[in-house]
Amino acid sequence: MRMAGKGVVITGATGIAAASARRLQRQGADLFVISRDENELEALAADLEGVGSHVGWAPADLTVEQDAEEGFARASEHLGRIDGVLAVAGASGRRFGDGPADEMSLDAWQKTIAINLSPAFLATRQAIRVMRRGQGGSVVCIGSVLAEHPSPGFFATHAYAASKGAIASLVRATASYYARDRIRVNAIAPGLVMTPMAKRAADDPEIVGYANEKQPLAAGLLDPAAIADAAVFLLSDEASQITGQVLEVDGGWGVTEVGPS
């Protein structure tokens, strides 16, 4: 129960966000979830409340400043305090046309950046505003292994990679600036994880074969629970002296070559 008595806000309601909510609940955290899809919020809250924990939630488009402000205001009211924020919300930009830089429109670039970087910024900003008035806290953003370890053959989505690289820079800059306020800001850079966003990859036998080699510790796509475990650690007091870091939870992606050893 290392999160007992702590109020935590999670952005997103499926995949890594849902797995983290379950882990945090088991560790005693009081939860408030913010996401765009009300049906997903209701489903997650019902799942968590089925094991005896009341979870607050609010639908909000976290690319919209007013929505983010209202969502976090409701979170503060529900929890009474915000000790931790896990900023997961984001999405693939493929539907906008994200791809290789020379093939991408400015519109595709801007929409992909907005859907990934703006929610991380707004969640971090709102968290800091609340935490500066209290005793500090912990913010954890979700980046991607692709920001540091590209895969040009299967994941040539350059706007997505850039948005996740920018999250790492946001984390380091804010961690430095707000450390004296006892606010810690870190990121997790997952590898290829079995989430709704990864359905295209999970349904492609060639990509699955690639993941088997590229992520040998997972022997394929990562379980979202592995990311959740890292998130709980960084949000907890066990990580009280850690800030400005990007923790790669990638099953070995970043240190493994595909092909003959």
pLDDT at 261 over 60: no
Looking at the domain assignment, is residue 59 inside a domain? yes
Condensed to tens digits (0 to 9), the pLDDT of residues 128-183 reads: 999 999 889 999 999 999 999 999 999 999 999 999 999 999 999 999 999 999 99
Looking at the domain assignment, is residue 42 inside a domain? yes
CATH assignment at residue 110? 3.40.50.720
Choose, from 160, 177, 178, 210, the residue flagged as catalytic. Answer: 160
Looking at the domain assignment, is residue 259 inside a domain? no
User: pTM of the full predicted structure?
Assistant: 0.95
Q: Which uninterrupted H or E stretch holds 184?
A: strand 183-190
Domain residue limits at 144: 7-251
User: Domain count of the chain?
Assistant: 1
Looking at the domain assignment, is residue 213 inside a domain? yes
Looking at the domain assignment, is residue 256 inside a domain? no
Looking at the domain assignment, is residue 141 inside a domain? yes
Average pLDDT over residues 107-111: 98
Pairing mode, strands 183-190 and 7-11: unpaired
Q: Which uninterrupted H or E stretch holds 140?
A: strand 137-142
Pairing mode, strands 183-190 and 246-249: parallel
pLDDT at 48 over 60: yes
pLDDT at 213 over 90: yes
Tell the burial category of 74 from Cβ atoms under 10 Å away from its Cβ (0-12, 13-18, 19+): middle
Is 160 annotated as catalytic? yes
